[in-house]
Amino acid sequence: EKWPKGDEKSWKAALRGVTTESPEISKSIVNHVQTSLARAPYNIDDFGAYQAAALSVRDNLIVNWNSTQLEYSRKSPKRAYYLSLEFLMGRTLSNALLNLGVLDNYSSSLSSLGFSLEDILVQERDAALGNGGLGRLAACYLDSSATQELPVWGYGLRYKYGIFQQLIKADDGTQLEAPDPWLDHQNPWELPRLDVTYEVRFYGNAQRWDEGTGRATWSGGQEVLAVAYDVMIPGYGTKNTNNLRLWESKPKRGFDLQSFNAGNYERSVESSNSAAAITSVLYPNDHTSFGKELRLKQQYFWTAASLADMLRRFKHLEKPISQFAEYNAIQLNDTHPTLAIVELMRILVDEEEVPWDGAWTIVTNTFFFTNHTVLPEALEKWSVPLLEHLLPRHLQIIFDIVSHPAIIRESSLFLQSVEKKFPGDREKLSRLSLIEEGFPKQVRMANLAVVGSRRVNGVAELHSDLVQKNLFPDFVEFYGKSKFGNVTNGITPRRWLDQCNPSLSALITETLKIERNVWLKDLYKLEGLLAHVNDSEFQARWAAVKHQNKERLALFVERQLGIKIDASALFDVQIKRLHEYKRQTLNILGVIHRYLLIKSLKPEERKKVVKKVVFFAGKAAPACTLFKMSTLLPLTIRLIVNVARVINADPDTNQYLSLFFLPDYSVSLAEILIPASDISQHISTAGTEASGTSNMKFCLNGGLLVGTVDGANIEIAEEVGEDNVFFFGHLTPDVEDLRYQHTYHPIPVEEKSPALAHVLNTVSSGIFGGDGVYEPLLNTVRQGDFYILTDDFDSYIRALEMVDEAYSDRTEWIKKSIRTSAKMGKFSSDRAIQDYAQEYWNIESVKL
Ligand code: RUG
């Protein structure tokens, strides 16, 4: 495209501050073009205009940020800190414009300068410092905390490279990974705080003083500098602007001058490279514990810097250290930050000279722990020799916690009761232990997190139940039930409705006859839509918005993949990380089943088929490495891509069924896909998906849900009514029995599900290419079938048939869609964050 686009006169007027619309905004944009970007006015492309607009918005955020932080300092409220290794923020500009209430003003200013806001917004790169649900949840919680005016800060790492960029190889459909250098262009949303730094130690020696005090001195080893970068988090419709502090690692002493002078250049920069490596890249795996030293370094670096920062802030209050937990609550987002428990003990005992028991009381009143999965492979363990090498003092403290008198007292009491109940049950105690016996011994981070926290929660009712019954039953017995709770996840309606679906938001505001900023802050107000379900004009407008969003997606796909899509077809979407338990394989096998069925019909019969377009998107953890067997997930992507190639090219069927794998799934891509879905798939094996959050996003945007009785699907159905959800499959209590049966009394697929057997054989026959390449994937279904696809396939197909049937009655469908959206109040992250604030952290809002 050619630029400059605008009219020179309007730029000059803007500079003089004499434009008719929002003169201050136009002037500030043009000023930033000239000063911050050092470009002549008028001489700017879309990206430059984005940068200038972002810098201008940032000026407002900074003012609000400063007032908020000043107010927090003045009022000294109890604060909460959200420790998360991942914050999947996505784009910021549109969110900041919305929250500041200046969207229209910027839109008109930009347009007077010759730009369209829409073109400007897409210039921004996603901040993708996360893998999936866990990181996006953290981002939603920051938005809600600021909106609820709660004094909450996030702490994370400023990775130089976020989640990898996913490319799909054109010839065979395999996933390729490329780095995501998201900071290559200046990041306008962060404030480098080069003066806020802490030294973090690794390796070295821990010397105990004497056994009595439990104190020690830790010295030597490597020292690395943590430098703070602050990201401003504006609340919606309030001036309150919270902070997300991200740490970058830097060498403490530049480079080694001695080696340099001796001519050994490489040696001279070795240690500075190793320091910088700590925050260089996000680990692209969720649900796997890797045991890699660099990952452990990340975890300690981040928790140590964050705690030092909190301590410094607390000291400004000039309160006795014994009151630390009265002023600070720290939320552990999964086990990743569990070392913070040990680090706070170290600070209190070694540096603040607090007696051990007092320190332990402070610690166990400060921390709260959220578990996000019951999958055993995700539970983090660190080997004792690795800990001893990297963090010798922390290992001592962990062993001291194990033999801490109070714990010993309790456990011997507990042991006595166990003895009584289960005579001779030594296994129970070994299950409770922080240390797992073996070669080498391992520290169980989840057990440590439970022991060191005041309360523990899961992320949906079913999950929290499984956390108590399956994951930590011995701890429940040990501490009693009251230590364990549930906070069902939530999503921010600002990004996941108003921003991604402005037409629906406008229709809702008009229909409810209340201000947008009222229902966007009190999502239960959506229930008011129920009064309009039978209004045919409203139904038509609701349907028109959905259609418009489908057209938008169709256009996006056409631009990306060059294929036209019929927006009147049923849009069926599954977007999430690729994982065996999420069962993308079940979905693609279902698509093949549908294809074969349509293919077998006579041409006139085909016309009765419900037209459908199926979308997949999601990244697979790179199929690794020297140490770990590669997974079959990339093979699932390959199968999807190659099935898509065949069926999209089949003239017999392609008007009735088409299939797309959209590469490089991201927050921004989700913002296009979610408003466009008629139906979305949440089909994990029952009992495996802790919650899921995209299910909530789809439903909020009037998409219906096909799913298993799992995670938050269950609570969604409770809210919207089971007749508005398409449930299928075996229930959680059946799964173990079925797995047992697969191992000891296997029934051949041909017998269990002839339809599935036919699909598997078709793939084996090679019609989707691959020369036997899919056999390992198919064999996981034919043998073992850990995720019970063979048991669920027939009921899955029946659920999809019911979807077709329901979709054929378009008026009924629209009613279901409206009802679903109307009942999503519970799933606002504002509700979730209030649960944490009241039931866990005990913090209150601070009004500016
Ligand atoms: O898999 C879970 C999702 O079910 C959940 O909705 C999300 C947020 O609570 O967290 C996901 N998760 C779990 N991400 N990583 C893990 C394990 O570390």
Supply the CATH number for residue 806's domain: 3.40.50.2000
Q: Which two tokens stand for residue 354?
A: 């607090």
Residue 663 included in any domain: yes
DSSP string, 305-345: HHHHHHHHHHHHTT--GGGHHHHEEEEEESSTTTHHHHHHH
Both 391 and 257 in a single domain? Answer: yes
Q: Which residue has the tokens 């407002």?
A: 60
Residues whose CB is less than 8 angstroms from the CB of residue 571 and which lie 6 or more positions away in sequence, other chains included: 550, 553, 612, 613, 615, 676, 677, 678, 679
User: From the centroid of its chain, how far is CA 625?
Assistant: 25
- pLDDT of the residue at 626: 43
Residue 652 included in any domain: yes
Confidence of residue 414 (pLDDT cuts 50, 70, 90): low
Q: Which residue has the tokens 């999936």?
A: 132
> pLDDT tens digit string along 422-452?
666 678 778 888 999 999 999 999 999 999 9
Rounded distance between C-alpha atoms, residue 525 and residue 55, angstroms: 35
**Consecutive H or E run containing 176:** strand 175-178
Residue 482 included in any domain: yes
Instruction: Work out the average pLDDT over 57-78.
Output: 98
Residue 538 included in any domain: no
361 tagged catalytic: no
Both 152 and 114 in a single domain? Answer: no
Residue 522 included in any domain: no
Residues whose CB is less than 8 angstroms from the CB of residue 541 and which lie 6 or more positions away in sequence, other chains included: 507
Ligand 1 geometric centre to CA of 132 (Å): 8
Residue 771 included in any domain: yes
The upper half-sphere exposure of residue 847, i.e. CA atoms within 13 Å in the direction of its Cβ, equals: 0
Q: Which two tokens stand for residue 632?
A: 């079959």
**Consecutive H or E run containing 324:** helix 324-327
Q: Which two tokens stand for residue 78?
A: 């109890």
Residue 189 included in any domain: yes
> pLDDT tens digit string along 15-37?
888 877 788 999 999 999 999 99
Both 820 and 724 in a single domain? Answer: yes
Residue 87 included in any domain: no
Q: Which residue has the tokens 């349907």?
A: 543
> pLDDT tens digit string along 384-408?
999 999 999 999 999 988 877 666 6
Q: How far is CA 180 from CA 136, 156, 448, 781, in A?
A: 17, 18, 34, 34
Both 40 and 185 in a single domain? Answer: no
The pLDDT mean for the chain works out to 94
Both 54 and 148 in a single domain? Answer: no
577 tagged catalytic: yes
Both 105 and 166 in a single domain? Answer: no
Both 56 and 170 in a single domain? Answer: no
Instruction: Work out the average pLDDT over 177-206.
Output: 96
Both 71 and 157 in a single domain? Answer: no
**One of 693, 708, 732, 820 is an active-site residue; which one?**
693
What ipTM goes with this model? 0.99
Both 588 and 727 in a single domain? Answer: yes
Both 145 and 294 in a single domain? Answer: yes
**One of 582, 583, 638, 831 is an active-site residue; which one?**
582
Ligand 1, CB cutoff 6 Å, lining residues: 132-134, 137, 286-287, 334, 372-373, 378, 459, 489, 689-693, 711
693 tagged catalytic: yes
- pLDDT of the residue at 630: 62
Rounded distance between C-alpha atoms, residue 163 and residue 86, angstroms: 10
Both 328 and 421 in a single domain? Answer: yes
Confidence of residue 598 (pLDDT cuts 50, 70, 90): very high
- pLDDT of the residue at 420: 63
Residue 353 structural domain: 127-489+834-841
Ligand 1 geometric centre to CA of 297 (Å): 22
Both 178 and 325 in a single domain? Answer: yes
Q: pTM above the 0.95 mark?
A: yes
Coil, helix or strand for 574? strand
- pLDDT of the residue at 660: 97
Closest CA to 90 of 694, 634, 668: 668
Whether residue 263 has pLDDT greater than 90: no
Rounded distance between C-alpha atoms, residue 99 and residue 92, angstroms: 10
Closest CA to 235 of 832, 840, 835, 830: 830
Ligand 1 geometric centre to CA of 621 (Å): 15
Of 691, 694, 708, 835, which is best to mutate to test ligand 1, by the most ligand atoms within 8 angstroms of its C-beta?
A: 691
For strands 704-708 and 725-728, give the pairing. Answer: parallel
Question: Total domain count for the chain?
Answer: 3
Q: Dihedral of the CA atoms 693, 695, 698, 700 (nearest 10)?
A: -70
5 tagged catalytic: no
> pLDDT tens digit string along 786-829?
999 999 999 999 999 999 999 999 999 999 999 999 999 999 99
